[in-house]
Chain A
Amino acid sequence: MTGIAVGKRRHWLKNRGRSYSRAESALCAVLLVIVGALVLLPLGYLLYGALRDSPPRTPNAGYTWANLVEIYGSLHFAQPFLTTLAIGISVGIGSAILGVLLAWIITRLDIPRPGLWEKLLTLPIYFSPLMLALAFTALGAPRVGFLNLIWKTLGGDGSAVSVYSFSGIVFVLCVHYAPYAMLVLTAPMRSISAELEEAARVLGSSRWHLMRTVTIPMLRPAIFSVVLIVGTLAAENFAVPTLLGRQSKISTIPGEIYFWLTYEPSNPNLAAAAGTLLLLVTISGIFVYRYMTRMSGRFVTITGKPKLIPRLPLGKWRSAITGLLAFYLAITTILPIAALIFGSFMPYIGQHIDFNKLTLHNYQAALQGENYSAITHSLFLAVVSATLITLLGFLVSYIIRRTSVPGRGLLDYLSALPIAIPGMVLGVGMVWAYVIAPFGLWGSIWILLIAYMARFIVHAVRAINASLLQVSGEMDEAARVLGAGIFRRLRQITMPLTMRALLSSWVLVAIFVLNELSATILLYSSKSITLSVLTWNALDMYGAMQAFAFSVIQGCMTAILVWVSYRLSGKATW
């Protein structure tokens, strides 16, 4: 290879018979320090707070087991815990199934305008789960939801749908997270080399047999990753189960945490103890994930020059499949977004739709005064956080998947830990950890950046992991043998090969940051207010319609970010 120094010596070390360089070892150490500081500092305070009877630095506070006994030792929280698990598992599996189906249709079937469909199907991610829940209550509230009003007009009895139910909660969360699953799975599905499938077809395999025995198993790490991450995100969501579940007496652990943190008298120590429960569950899930993907070599599909798989011609089924996609889009995206946009022009939602009441007041209020700074803060945080997190996640993922340095397993667990903690509980840990931070860090916008890095690094690592699993290490090994240093290999080999995954990860993280509320609500200040906080405060005081207006603005900002990233993605090459 031109430009690579030949004969340059490297110091190689050994770990269980595999070699790694000092540079890799040093990079791993630096990443351990950075990720460790981001994650362990608030987590440490959280565990400390779970063992105290008052928040840190309270005079005369003491240690106690009472919080942990109340969470683990009483049956009082058994039902919310089981409900939380049920929501997580249902949404994780449901989103993964939908994600596989949608990714397969987008990447493998000969549908018209697949690029456009891919963009349209990701729209639900632009809106936070809370906003989707509000939009679906406008549609599916018993008696008065738009769909039930239509049902009554058509002569139906009672209510056709009720969003205030367990299935309503699972439905809304699946609608939000299925596009995430699709985005995570699209990159590895595209990356599967054609040779494997061609070989299977030549040997007589049917398409269904091929899907079952080749395609799905090759995607197994990515699917497990999606089930784990989406399941955990769904389980730790407090807004949707609280809004949709309370009326049906459905309570979850995050819902209980929400009460302990936001209403007086607050009980952050009990909330911290409840956070440890979710942490244990997710650590078990990560352990299972690492076990299932331990033989990562089996999932490699890119070696040297990959050959892309041609799309399957649909023939007479083309219209039907396209119609199915359109129906899915209508139910999950067009109807709720229409309800959201319509609601943003109303002062309130009443029993009858009165077009004379349409008003711009919600938008006039949304674009006044300090609300402008909320828009710029949100944009700044989304762009900078997404860039830093993707870069950090890329380095972490590389160390975990491409090296054999000691400590990479610990790095894997550290980067995944924050997903186990509800954002609100992590926020409490960060308040306790960073309230004494010097140099004006506390109360500044930088504290939110740190919080987002801690909270979302797992998404970057998982998305890039899934892509790296399909990229053979042989090219990297070859470059290393020829004397290329680690950063050169990262820049010239690994990064170009995983560029799609990096851009997907960037988009995802930017969207998550824009919609993030649960940690932000505890950490923001008058100098760092964001759109998500304005939305929540509007819900708390001015009514849902004002919150809808903020949400539409937030959705437009997300759309711009995604459009920019898609433009850049189009320029990404092997």
Chain B
Amino acid sequence: MKRCNNTRIPRALHFLKGIAIASALFAMQQPASAASADVATAWKNAQKLIPGISKETVDAACSEGSAMMYSLILRGEQEGIIGHFEKLFPCIKLKVFNASGGVLSQRFTNEMRAGNSPTDIWMNSSPVYGSRLAKEGLLLNWTPPTASLIDDLWKDEGYWYAIGLAHIGIIWNTEDIKPEQKKWLEGVKTWADVPNGPFQNNTGLVDIRAGGTTQIFYYYNKQKYGVDYWKKLATLKPTIFSGVNPLIGRLVAGDFAYAAGITADTAGATQWLKGAPLQWKFPEPGLAVPYFIGISAKAPHPNAAKLFMAWSLSTDGQNSWVNSSGLAPASSHATDNRPYAKKAWYKLPKTHYRADWQKIATDLKADTQTFTSIFGK
């Protein structure tokens, strides 16, 4: 058999070899030029939106390239927040793990204590739990340059900062109420009015154990008006639900007409945006629960996490969180463009109750027993 000789290789093969080498060189060039353009874009946007953030942090964040956020389940998060952040900072990819508050907390703490956590950013809505983890050293102590934009009521300085607020209010099915009920609803000003509603056998409430958003409602009114307030609510013979979303589903379906102690901007508004006949208001003083983020003390990508947190607290970040997730602003600098916020019937409370979250947590066991004895198990 004749030996293969270089001179015998067809020209076409040489040509193809050349194309392949050129393509490989071009491809090798692409990531680098793409990467440096992304870093430049990130720094440009960081300077504009996050005054005070250092270039070292942004460069380090870009070389880390990604961050993992353990997040509560929020509507519009993927496109409105993650997508927007990645457009502003294209050198960073955000991965998100969504779950409910209890599951998220258990997961985060178990992983951190085992030294096996992929989390960079942790979200929660239990201030007492957040502060407890901070004390245990599971959250990074770092103050973003945009921290001052968040009101004092909604942060544990150096550890966690609110990206939005879930206000608690009353909500009703506009197709299911009579004129006298409508008149009564328009007259509700404070929480003292709420149990007096003409909605016998036509009311929904959420179980006190269903999280901080229900606990603050029951705790505040018990503290202000005594246990008699709960007894008055019980005279409405309410249907008790295990969570807000099942309640909202039945409210929209017309099982009952009125519900109290509800996070209307999240659960209620999700259905309102689809056309459900709902309306809600927030009696005074405002009861609100902060949805906050903190950075994991052992974050695999600490700089990317810092950039994300700093951006989240900036005006641009706050606008994204508010207008995508539906949470109310935690910063007075944010612009509220939520569709229902423009409605004449929608008004945020003028004042806010300063909750003692530690006391709420301490009293929960006794309060649960009282709740059960009044509303039944």
Which residues of chain A have a CB within 8 Å of any CB of chain B? Answer: 55-59, 79-80, 141-144, 242-243, 246-247, 249, 251, 255, 258-259, 261-266, 268, 347-351, 357, 369, 428, 431-432, 435-437, 442-443, 521-522, 525-526, 537, 539-544
Contact = CB atoms under 8 A, between A and B. Distances in A.
A141 B113 CA distance: 45
Contacts of B73: 537, 540-541
Nearest to B68: A526
Interface in B303-339: none
Contact of A264 (B102, B243, B275): B102
A539 B73 CA distance: 11
Nearest to B376: A249
Contacts of A255: 242
B7 interface: no
Contact of B110 (A264, A265, A435, A539): A435
What 6 A-B pairs have minimum CB-CB distances, sorted nearest first? A347-B274, A351-B254, A57-B113, A266-B102, A262-B102, A435-B114
6 contacts: A56-B110, A263-B100, A263-B210, A431-B106, A435-B114, A537-B73
Interface in B82-114: 95-103, 105-107, 109-111, 113-114
B196 interface: no
B178 interface: no
Contact of B270 (A242, A263, A428, A541): A541
B102 A261 contact: yes
A210 B128 CA distance: 67
Contact of A443 (B109, B118, B246, B270): B118
A387 B178 CA distance: 59
A259 B240 CA distance: 14
A268 B106 contact: yes
B175 interface: yes
Contact of A266 (B105, B113, B248): B105
Contacts of B74: 541
Contacts of B252: 348-350
Interface in B252-299: 252-255, 270-271, 274-277
Given A264-B101, A521-B99, A435 B116 contact: yes
A262 B100 contact: yes
B110 A247 contact: no
Interface in B128-171: 128-129, 136
Contact of A265 (B129, B245, B271, B276): B129
A436 B255 CA distance: 47
B255 A142 contact: yes
Interface of B: 68, 73-75, 78, 95-103, 105-107, 109-111, 113-116, 118, 124-126, 128-129, 136, 175-176, 207, 209-212, 239-243, 245-246, 248-250, 252-255, 270-271, 274-277, 361, 364, 376-377
Contacts of B210: 259, 263
Contact of B255 (A141, A369, A541): A141
A542 B101 contact: no
B87 to A, nearest CB: 16
A144 B102 contact: no
Contacts of B114: 57, 435-436
A249 B375 CA distance: 9
Contacts of B125: 264
B72 to A, nearest CB: 9
Contact of A349 (B99, B106, B115, B253): B253
B365 to A, nearest CB: 10
A349 B249 CA distance: 8
Contacts of B246: 243
B296 to A, nearest CB: 14
Contacts of A435: 110-111, 114, 116
Contacts of A259: 207, 209-210, 242
Nearest to B364: A265
Given A264-B101, A264-B124, A350-B277, 11 more contacts: A59-B136, A144-B255, A261-B103, A261-B106, A266-B105, A350-B175, A431-B106, A435-B114, A442-B116, A526-B95, A542-B270
Nearest to B69: A526
Given A57-B113, A262-B103, A351-B253, A540 B245 contact: yes
A525 B97 CA distance: 6
A539 B244 CA distance: 11
A265 B255 contact: no
Nearest to A245: B242
Nearest to A539: B245
A237 B111 CA distance: 27
Contacts of A436: 114-116
A264 B245 contact: no
Nearest to B78: A369
A437 B115 CA distance: 11
A246 B78 contact: no
B245 A357 contact: no
